[in-house]
Amino acid sequence: MNGRWGLALAVLAVAGAGPWPAEAGGMEPGESRKARVAVTGTLTDEGVECQALRAEDGALYTLVGDLAGFRTGDPVRVAGSIAEMSVCMQGTTIRVETIARQAPGSD
């Protein structure tokens, strides 16, 4: 393989790493459009750097983005994408796209 092909493959590898925000509707580099989730639970004070959400199944999530005024103790349903990298330092971080009040025990 000569230098031209090596450079071309390197450019393709970087280009395939993920869409940039302007191309993907606000997604960060490396985020996958397939990594979407919807989680129901209660906002908790467990987050060190970010608001935390304890899901109904006990899993811990941290949230980034607009929480629309919701606070610790509120039962919510959050939909968004999994952030591959985050400053939250714990749990699985969700980049919030929508958040709504959720009645306990309802789906």
Residue 1's pLDDT is what? 47
On whether residue 56 sits in a domain, the answer given is yes
| 38 within domain boundaries | yes
Q: Are residues 58 and 91 in contact, defined by beta-carbon separation less than 8 angstroms?
A: no
Q: How many structural domains is the chain composed of?
A: 1
Domain presence at residue 23:
no
Q: Is residue 60 one of the residues assigned to a domain?
A: yes
**Whole-number Å distance between alpha carbons of 19 and 31:** 8
Tell me the chain's radius of gyration from C-alpha atoms: 18
User: What's the pLDDT tens digit per position in 28-79?
Assistant: 555 445 589 999 999 999 999 999 999 999 999 999 999 999 999 999 999 9
d(Cα 52, Cα 63) in Å, to the nearest integer?
6
By residue range, what is the domain housing residue 93?
31-101
Question: Is 81 inside a domain boundary?
Answer: yes
Sign (positive or negative) of CA dihedral 20, 21, 25, 27:
positive
Q: Which residue has the tokens 């899993």?
A: 59
pTM here?
0.66
Question: pLDDT by residue (tens digit) across 31-42?
Answer: 445 589 999 999
CATH code at 48?
2.40.50.140
Neighbours of 87 (CB within 10 A): 11
In 3-state terms, what secondary structure has residue 94?
strand
Q: Is residue 9 part of a domain?
A: no
